[in-house]
Structure 1
C-alpha cells in the first residue's frame, strides 16, 4: 500500500497521532478510536494491521498485551517527497509571517502613540474626559 493510501485514512492518521505521543497498547488505541470514530474493535485492529504491514507502526508483545509505536522512517520518506513541493507553500507562509509581524508592529506603534498623547494631555481621553481619580 502506498504511503498516501495509508495516511489518507483519518482513522489511521489519528492512530499515528496517538502513537506519536509514545508507546500504546492495542487496547488503549482501540478505546480512543472507538470513542472518537464509533467503529468496532475489529475495524480498529484492521487499521493497526495496515499501519504495521505498511511499516508506519511497529508492535512488540508484552505479556498478553501488544504495544505499538510509530516507525518514523516511512514518515521521513513522505517528508522527503513533500520537500520537492515545499516551495509552493513556504513562500506564501513566509509572506504571511511578514504581514503578521508588520501588523503587530503597527498596532504597537499606534498604542504607543495613543499612550504618549494621553500623557501629553494629562490623561484626558479623546472626549476630554479626565481619568478616574485613584485612591490609594
Structure 2
C-alpha cells in the first residue's frame, strides 16, 4: 500500500487534484477538470484526469461515491496518517538536549 501511496503522490498533477479536493471535497470529474483548466491552466483531457483519480483511489487517497448518474470524489487522508505513524519520532536523548543551542 505504501508503494501505491508514494506513486500517487509522486505526480504533480495528482498533488494538484488533492489540493483541489482539500479546498472543496465532493467534486465530480467535470468540476475537477474545470478547476484544473481554469485555476491551474492545465490542459488535460477528462480521460487523463479520470486516470489520475483512479491512481489516487487505488492508493486510498480519494474515495468516490455514486449518486444517481454522478460520481463524487472525496479526499481521504487516512493513508497519509498511517505513513506518519509508521515512523514515529525517536525520543529526545539527553545527549541531544545537552548539545542544543
- Answer yes or no: same fold by TM over 0.5: yes
The 3-state SS of whatever aligns with 2:44 is: coil
Deviating runs (4+, > 6 A) in structure 1? none
Secondary structure of the corresponding residue to residue 74 of structure 2: strand
Separation in 1 of the partners of 2:34 and 2:28? 10
The CA distance in 2 between the partners of 1:46 and 1:69, in whole Å, is 16
The equivalent of 2:68 in structure 1 is 63
Which residue in the other structure is 1:116 paired with?
A: none
| Cα RMSD for the two superposed structures | 2.1
In 2, the alpha carbon distance for the partners of 1:28 and 1:47 equals 14
Question: Mean Cα displacement is larger for which, 32-41 or 19-28?
Answer: 32-41
Alpha-carbon distance, 1:18 to partner = 1.1
Aligned length: 86
Structure 1 residue runs without a partner (length 5+)? 88-136
The structure that has the greater radius of gyration is: 1
Match among 14, 32, 36 for residue 35 of structure 2: 32
Structure 1 or 2: larger helix share? 1
**Relative contact order higher in (CA < 8 Å, ≥ 6 apart):** 2
TM-score by length of 2: 0.72
Deviations 1:90-118 (A, max 9, x none): xxxxxxxxxxxxxxxxxxxxxxxxxxxxx
Match of 1:19 among 13, 18, 21: 21
1:75 lines up with 2:80 in the alignment: yes
In the superposition, the TM-score normalised over structure 1's length comes to 0.55
